[in-house]
Structure 1
């Protein structure tokens, strides 16, 4: 028994030592980049004393805002970081109930959608505390389309979300069975799961059409406007916020070259190619490439026609290079994962293709949680 207690005490001491180090690194970073925060030593003493007493500490609103923005700045898989300072931080750390989380997700979508002028936004909900697990959202994004496995084989809807759809159905949800049914939020609080419908009035969707091909509208394709990621933890100075949905705006190729084009997603390239009358008998005709370009033109055209914020991969690649140069001028490492930074369409025609990057992990950060 004594050895078990000793081992537990050593483990707890190691954890306190780790959070002490992470907290100190973050507080020093915050004060170094924000001189108006004042002397760093008094704040460090306050933070370390709180950790010694409770096992964790509470960020000030300014620290939370800075930490969330720097987590975006450090996101090596995101090409759209030029505007990291513009991230709007909604501090909702007092919210720890399922209904409260659902309500804040709805308000997040309302605020971020902004009538189509998408605003980069994060909503930070209750943090993890010793012995007090925080809420979490099972959905990968606040808006996800259901995927129904058909008895005869295949999937109606988005094949990426068949498992989440099955969980929602086990919990009592019944969708309409269309290709674009919006899934309810599955929220976990203290081990219990609850379903929460996303009200239609906060879901902005764009029906897709093409500037030259009138038949494209007959395909019945659409996509939602706000890519609000909800299954990543925000890590700031040793404090974890498992429930912190955040969004920027879409780059067109995310929808046109991945969500609608991938074989294991909506797989629309054969459909588009057939309507275009392309020769699909062999790969050398490059029919996939032609269909892919037209699909992406339709996405960009439709969002622009509806006044919904979206960027194209050429513009965003140029913005990323500007961000990279700015970070280097400021003496900071700009982490980047080449395989994510290079767009999935015409990558070699963009400036981000032709160089290597520092693929390192910096904190604060957004981290993937284990699959629920």
Structure 2
């Protein structure tokens, strides 16, 4: 799952995240016409348009039918470029959890998404849709870029154990209550952060049993396993906003499966991540004194071979970057250009900042209601 520069996924200003005063009726109508064009048995379009106009006029928003939601999520994933690997997008499973908005419930369902998507290694593409933004109440948001990410523990000498890409996020998690393990490791799971307007940001430990990890070995180099490398099986993108017909779903985690180079090249070999190219080159006996020997290329190649070999040996779904390139070329030829009413996954500037730095919070901390803790508890129960 990698991004191409021309895909529909786009960066929107941070101001786009909060709920709008009212749904854009033009966007709603464009989507509904698109849905009815694809579903001949959906009933009269004129009747549905009238229902939506009336609902928006009354509440400022409208509720998608389960069929509309599923279709919109599938089209958004197909058009985004994250789901190009020859998968039958019409059969992608969409989990309709629009009634779930409390942080603990959102986290629990995210972990269940991981379990279902893992599917004992036969990775199952899924989209889980939580409560939407409405004019009177914003939906929950997830800070993490992906449900599974590894911590970057900063030492006293500013050295980092783990993934340096998430060192700032790890630091901010400590401020929110995350406890660094007594013996920090290179592959410690970061907690999941779910934020709501009512309860603020909450941390949740990702259950280790929900995360399938693949130990990395090499088909020819017996010493490779001594490097102690591994990677998680399912890439679940969790901080993107799903927009369908003018309605925004700020928490809608989704997954397909990994492209090998995303692990071997971008995570393991890259100097800004685990920087393993040097260690592999040394074990291979390569001349690292000059970049002109192309030792980085040779080491990165072996890292990528190890990733594909290990996932195949563990019977975990993965694709290689050459096969993916062919699918992406076909996608680029056939994809639809984005428009206001066409479903899309988008990432906001604020979401990018939270995923990288662990803040700032999306919502200001809600004031304590009058009447003390009992009144606060009653308010929470009423909002369930």
Q: State if a TM-score over 0.5 links the two structures.
A: yes
Matched, 1:230 2:244: no
1:130-159: CA deviation from partner (whole Å, max 9, x where unpaired):
121111111110001001122112211111
Q: For residues 38 and 24 of structure 2, what CA distance do their matches in structure 1 show? A: 21
Please tell me whether the aligned partners of residues 120 and 248 of structure 1 are also in contact (alpha carbons under 8 angstroms).
yes
* Structure 1 segments unaligned to the other structure (5+ residues): 1-13, 328-332, 336-358
Provide the residue aligned with 1:366 in structure 2.
Answer: 345
* Aligned partner of residue 127 in structure 2, secondary structure: strand
Matched, 1:35 2:40: yes
Q: How many residues align?
A: 329
Match 2:126 to one of 100, 114, 121: 121
Provide the residue aligned with 2:282 in structure 1.
Answer: 274
Provide the residue aligned with 2:209 in structure 1.
Answer: 201
1:221-259: CA deviation from partner (whole Å, max 9, x where unpaired):
110001001010000000000011100000101101101
Matched, 1:133 2:151: no
Please tell me whether the aligned partners of residues 83 and 89 of structure 2 are also in contact (alpha carbons under 8 angstroms).
no
Q: For residues 325 and 293 of structure 2, what CA distance do their matches in structure 1 show? A: 28
Please tell me whether the aligned partners of residues 81 and 323 of structure 1 are also in contact (alpha carbons under 8 angstroms).
no
Please tell me whether the aligned partners of residues 82 and 322 of structure 1 are also in contact (alpha carbons under 8 angstroms).
no
Provide the residue aligned with 1:305 in structure 2.
Answer: 313
Displacement after TM superposition at 1:362 (Å): 7.7
Matched, 1:172 2:177: yes
Q: For residues 363 and 90 of structure 1, what CA distance do their matches in structure 2 show? A: 20
Query: TM-score, structure 1 length as denominator?
Result: 0.84
* Structure 2 segments unaligned to the other structure (5+ residues): 1-19, 355-384
- Quote the RMSD (CA, aligned, Å): 1.9
In structure 2, the CA distance between the partners of 1:19 and 1:81, relative to structure 1 (3 Å rule), is farther
Instruction: Name the stretch that deviates more: 78-87 or 68-77.
Output: 78-87
Match 1:296 to one of 289, 304, 307: 304
Higher RCO (C-alpha under 8 Å, 6+ residues apart): 2
Provide the residue aligned with 2:161 in structure 1.
Answer: 156
Please tell me whether the aligned partners of residues 31 and 244 of structure 2 are also in contact (alpha carbons under 8 angstroms).
yes
Provide the residue aligned with 2:193 in structure 1.
Answer: 186
1:93-144: CA deviation from partner (whole Å, max 9, x where unpaired):
0001011101101110111000010000011000001121111111110001
* Aligned partner of residue 311 in structure 1, secondary structure: coil
Instruction: Name the stretch that deviates more: 68-77 or 114-123.
Output: 68-77
Query: TM-score, structure 2 length as denominator?
Result: 0.82
Displacement after TM superposition at 1:86 (Å): 2.9
